[in-house]
Amino acid sequence: MPNANGIPTQDDVKFFKENGYWLSPKIIDDERLSRLRERMERVYRNEFETGTPPEAIWSYEKGHPKTLRKTDMASYADLTIRALAYDPVIGEIAAALTETDTIRFWADQLLHKPEQSGGHASSVGWHQDYTYWKCFQNPETLLTAWVAYDDVDEENGCMMMVPGSNQWGLLNGSDFYEQNLDNQKNGMNVPEGQVFRTMPIVMKAGQVSFHHSLTIHGSGPNISDRVRRSSALHLMTGETRFRYDERHQYLSTKQFIASGGKDGDIVQGDMYPVIYKKGVTA
Ligand SMILES: O=C(O)CCC(=O)C(=O)O
């Protein structure tokens, strides 16, 4: 069991290393969750508190209301969403799981999966996040914290993890946008002797699920009457180094390059704030 603040124990760290994911207790309280849900709606109405828009606003089927919405870097637009992205407790948990002393934030996504979305594109295909993050050198230094704004279960399309896949290296066939998850998994080159077993990540609102950048995960449609809302926060350890990769560029990596960052440099700077440093209280 984690301690009172949700900080993982040695057994939890062992579980994360072996399985590639770990689920915290509830660490975001109900009042903060209702503010986050309200801010999510404001961003969807194009009301940007800071005056800066998110990096990308995207949904399937040209914005059909029953499809998945993904908004990249809403933390640029809204200060409540930004405070969650920079949350030091989430940073401390990430540091414990990766056994490091420094965690930087590097990206966030708002994810909105509407109720009764079956029959529309609202699934997330099986993928390893590192497929999209080759602009960083070492997948071991990268992880995601997924914050549930609502209770999530199989009916409203919770995430599913493939336990142990964090130890399989980078596979072919990852595709966040694929809708036929059953077919898709047959195209992934799972190593000989390993089994593609799926684990639903059932969570209460305010819990945070952490996954390694090589852990295969995806999610099905929302066949319930309950919306599924969340923030996915992409984090890195202080050891993360940059790699120039033409295909995987973001506003932050473009700025890193513009300010002189080169292949092999430690990733740091204004776009990559330190959210946790061991021994320094927030
Ligand atoms: O929300 C989902 O179903 C998938 C999110 C995801 O792929 C991620 O957080 O890395």
| Closest-CA residue to 204 (of 15, 19, 24) | 24
Nearest CA to ligand 1 atom 7: 218
Amino acid (1-letter code) at residue 182: D
Q: Where are the beta strands (DSSP E) in 102-181?
A: 102-113, 124-127, 142-148, 159-161
Q: What is the pTM of this model?
A: 0.96
- At residue 73, the 3 state secondary structure works out as coil
Atom index in ligand 1 nearest the CA of residue 219 equals 3
Q: Which string of b and e fits 63-98 if b means at least 16 CB within 10 Å? A: eeebbbbbbbbbbbbbebbbebbbbbbbbbbbbbbb
The verdict on the CB of residue 236 being under 6 Å from ligand 1 is no
- Please tell me the distance between residue 159's alpha carbon and the centre of ligand 1 in angstroms: 7
All domains in the chain, ordered by first residue: 10-277 (2.60.120.620)
* Higher pLDDT pick, 248 / 147: 147
Atom index in ligand 1 nearest the CA of residue 228 equals 1
pLDDT for position 2: 66
d(CA 82, CA 250): 18
Average per-residue pLDDT in the chain? Answer: 95
pLDDT for position 185: 94
pLDDT of 259 > 80? The answer is: yes
- Please tell me the distance between residue 123's alpha carbon and the centre of ligand 1 in angstroms: 10
Atom index in ligand 1 nearest the CA of residue 109 equals 9
pLDDT of 129 > 90? The answer is: yes
The verdict on the CB of residue 159 being under 6 Å from ligand 1 is yes
Query: In the structure encoding, which two tokens stand for residue 111, read together?
Result: 């994810």
Long-range pairs of 81-86 with CB within 8 A, sequence gap ≥ 24: 81/36, 81/39, 81/40, 81/43, 81/108, 81/110, 81/231, 84/28, 84/32, 84/36, 84/147, 84/231, 84/233, 85/231, 85/233, 85/275, 86/273, 86/275
Going by the DSSP 8-state scheme, the letter that residue 171 receives in this structure is P
d(CA 18, CA 163): 8
The verdict on the CB of residue 146 being under 6 Å from ligand 1 is yes
Which of these ranges, 59-73, 113-127, 206-220, has the smallest mean pLDDT?
Answer: 59-73
The verdict on the CB of residue 203 being under 6 Å from ligand 1 is no
The verdict on the CB of residue 174 being under 6 Å from ligand 1 is no
Query: In the structure encoding, which two tokens stand for residue 188, read together?
Result: 């992934």
DSSP letter string, 19-31? HSEEEEEE-S-HH
| pLDDT band at residue 119 using 50, 70 and 90 as cut-offs | confident
Q: Where are the beta strands (DSSP E) in 28-101?
A: 56-59, 69-72
Query: In the structure encoding, which two tokens stand for residue 209, read together?
Result: 């699920």
The verdict on the CB of residue 232 being under 6 Å from ligand 1 is yes
- Please tell me the distance between residue 125's alpha carbon and the centre of ligand 1 in angstroms: 9
The verdict on the CB of residue 215 being under 6 Å from ligand 1 is no
Which of these ranges, 63-77, 98-112, 147-161, has the smallest mean pLDDT?
Answer: 63-77
Residue 45 makes CB contacts below 8 A (sequence gap 6+) with none
Q: pLDDT of 191-231, one tens digit each?
A: 999 999 999 999 999 999 999 999 999 999 999 999 999 99
